[in-house]
Structure 1
Amino acid sequence: MDIDRIRYFNVFAETGSLVRASEVLHISQPALSKALKQLESELGMKLIEPEGRGLKLTASGLALRAETKGLLTQWLQVGEKVRRKEIAEPTRIGTFEVFSTYFLKHLANTVDFKNLELFELRPGKMEDALLKNEIDIGITYLPIPKAGLDLTEVTKVKMAVYGRKELLNKSLNELPFVVPLDPVEGAPTKVTGLDGWPDHKIPRKISYRVTLMESALELCRRGHAVAYLPSFVVDAHNEMLLAEYRLHEIQSPIPVKDRLQPVYLVHKTNNEDSKLHRQIAKALRAI
């Protein structure tokens, strides 16, 4: 069977229309119709039949779709899989959104990436990915203990409350915080928020909850909110902005020593002394 005809057939089956299928495939409707008739002739069975003003799959067509859909996906991925094997094995790092965004420039200075796969994972999911061999190493400051994994504390990063200049003189009770939407579960500390704020000790006014911290940064840039963020993230963030949108440190009730957040590398037990581990540790110490 011609693979293109099978692909055309599956696109028609998905769209249910010769017109829409021809648009998706970027071929003319007559050419598509001819290819489908050739497939029917090749197989010796009717695959499509009229239904009102349109067309539908016959019982044989439905059976062919069920049999070929998965095989077609595998076939279309063959080229990509071969190309991937021709280049270096990927370096697979798990970290979390925003930290990874602003840490990448430091990472690129110490790790020679020929093929990088960066997985932005929340605590718990990162550890699971390590145990499943989906990533090689994880970077976190809210580790979730799991059997078979070890932690290495590499450095500490300063955390602080940041917002627009006009919010500098407001009290903690007045500050509208934006925080990560998903809570942390299973952390050995009482911290439950992905930003690491000790809500169990110091209540705050939470006005916004977001999944992506880049959305939190946008709220901060516009003066709608403040956020508890790593200082190196804000420093890198401010380098790219006009002065009016830059974020400033706001006085925090958290003692300075408690705002030094440990950063850990998470790795499989007895797998600490690897070249990748040493390179990432060097990059983390540079932030």
Structure 2
Amino acid sequence: MDLRDLKYFLAVASAGNFRRAAELVHRSQPTLTKAIDRLEASLGAELFEREGRGQKLSTAGIALRARATSLLQEADLLRDEVGAIARGVAGTVRLGSGPLGAEYLLPRICSMLLGQAANVMLQLTIRNNYELRDELREGRLDLVLGFVPEEEEEFHCETLLKDTVVVAAVAGHPILKTRRVTLDKLAGYQWALPHRAVASRTWLDHAFESRDLPRPVAQIETNSIPLIPRVVADTELLTFVSRRTLRASGGQLEEVPLAATTLVRNFGVTYRKDVALSPAAGRLIALLHDHGSSLFNKVD
């Protein structure tokens, strides 16, 4: 059943004859006649009965008219919805983000996306990067915003910016008064760190072990990355955090400068290689490329 034939059917039903209907839709009478013939053949029923010089609806025609109007309206809505999805101004994006991206990027990026595409639906999941990769692998996420490795075989990664992770302590901590900071001296303190499954924790442990030193002793270990700076600000524990977090601390935390414990890592967006991204997801990635670095480094 052709939707155009349905439109011509409604025109004839409204006008009462083929001549006036043809004028209404700016088509020839034979075009409308053929459309009605196709509909009748498809439905196996006559839709019109001759009445004088015009046509009136048959019982089957009356039934079709009752449904055709709503059917065409639904078709118009469907066309608009699919078109919006194709343009990236509608649809659903399932985005996972680590705590750093959630804190410094997502609020403004979400606002920008909805400003461009008010009908896009966002499903946001905030977890540690290794947990989000599992969800991406299982098809429960479309994109992951977080740290990306230098070499990646399983997923496709796009780097947005560089982030530097350093040892930090509360302002006035004794280690900050040390003339020459070394790994040996850092090993003598207690730490507040994320779980060992977190990539930055793994890197820090290796920095000590590769120099035949014991791993940092985590007196506080947590899966809540945002909690760590607040804990360190009230203790003499050391930690390992992004310089972006230090800037946001308003001077409460200070960097403990040491090249051996300075990690430069890629921050970006990750998605599966075997699944095509929706236009809405592509629009979100474009916004991240255009604005991600400036938003991440902005300090209010």
TM-score for both structures, normalised by structure 2: 0.52
User: 1:125 Cα deviation (Å)?
Assistant: 2.9
Question: How many residues of Structure 1 are paired with residues of Structure 2 in the alignment?
Answer: 184
Aligned to 1:165: 171
Q: Do residues 281 (structure 1) and 289 (structure 2) align?
A: yes
Aligned to 2:233: 221
Identity of aligned residues (%): 13
Structure 1 residues without counterparts, runs of 5 or longer:
1-86, 185-192
1:255 to 1:217, Cα distance in 2 relative to 1, 3 A: closer
Structure 2 CA distance for aligned equivalents of residues 219 and 198 of structure 1: 19
Aligned to 1:122: 128
Aligned to 2:264: 260
TM-score for both structures, normalised by structure 1: 0.54
Q: Do residues 230 (structure 1) and 242 (structure 2) align?
A: yes
**8 Å Cα contact 1:154/1:265 also seen in 2:** yes
Structure 1 CA distance for aligned equivalents of residues 132 and 230 of structure 2: 26
**8 Å Cα contact 2:160/2:288 also seen in 1:** no
Aligned to 2:189: 175
Find the partner of 1:249 among 251, 255, 276: 255
Aligned to 1:207: 219
* Structure whose CA Rg is larger: 2
**8 Å Cα contact 2:167/2:261 also seen in 1:** no
Aligned to 1:103: 105
Say which is worse superposed, 127-136 or 227-236, in terms of deviation: 127-136
**8 Å Cα contact 1:151/1:266 also seen in 2:** yes
SS at match of 1:197: helix
Q: Alpha-carbon deviations, 1:109-138, whole Å to 9, x = none?
A: 643375432212333432232244322211
Partner letter of residue 99 of structure 2? Answer: E
Partner letter of residue 199 of structure 1? Answer: D
**8 Å Cα contact 1:177/1:226 also seen in 2:** yes
User: 1:255 Cα deviation (Å)?
Assistant: 6.4
1:276 to 1:226, Cα distance in 2 relative to 1, 3 A: same
**8 Å Cα contact 1:102/1:233 also seen in 2:** no
Aligned to 2:156: 150
Partner letter of residue 150 of structure 1? Answer: H
Q: Do residues 137 (structure 1) and 143 (structure 2) align?
A: yes
Indicate the RMSD between aligned Cα atoms, in angstroms: 3.1
Q: Alpha-carbon deviations, 1:163-188, whole Å to 9, x = none?
A: 2112222541233221112515xxxx
User: 1:196 Cα deviation (Å)?
Assistant: 5.7
| Higher helix fraction (1 or 2) | 2
SS at match of 2:258: coil
SS at match of 1:93: strand
Say which is worse superposed, 259-268 or 198-207, in terms of deviation: 198-207
Aligned to 2:95: 93
Structure 2 residues without counterparts, runs of 5 or longer:
1-88, 179-184, 209-214
**8 Å Cα contact 2:148/2:269 also seen in 1:** no
Structure 1 CA distance for aligned equivalents of residues 261 and 108 of structure 2: 28
Partner letter of residue 95 of structure 1? Answer: S
**8 Å Cα contact 2:148/2:270 also seen in 1:** no
Structure 1 CA distance for aligned equivalents of residues 265 and 202 of structure 2: 8
Say which is worse superposed, 215-224 or 170-179, in terms of deviation: 170-179
Structure 2 CA distance for aligned equivalents of residues 157 and 197 of structure 1: 14
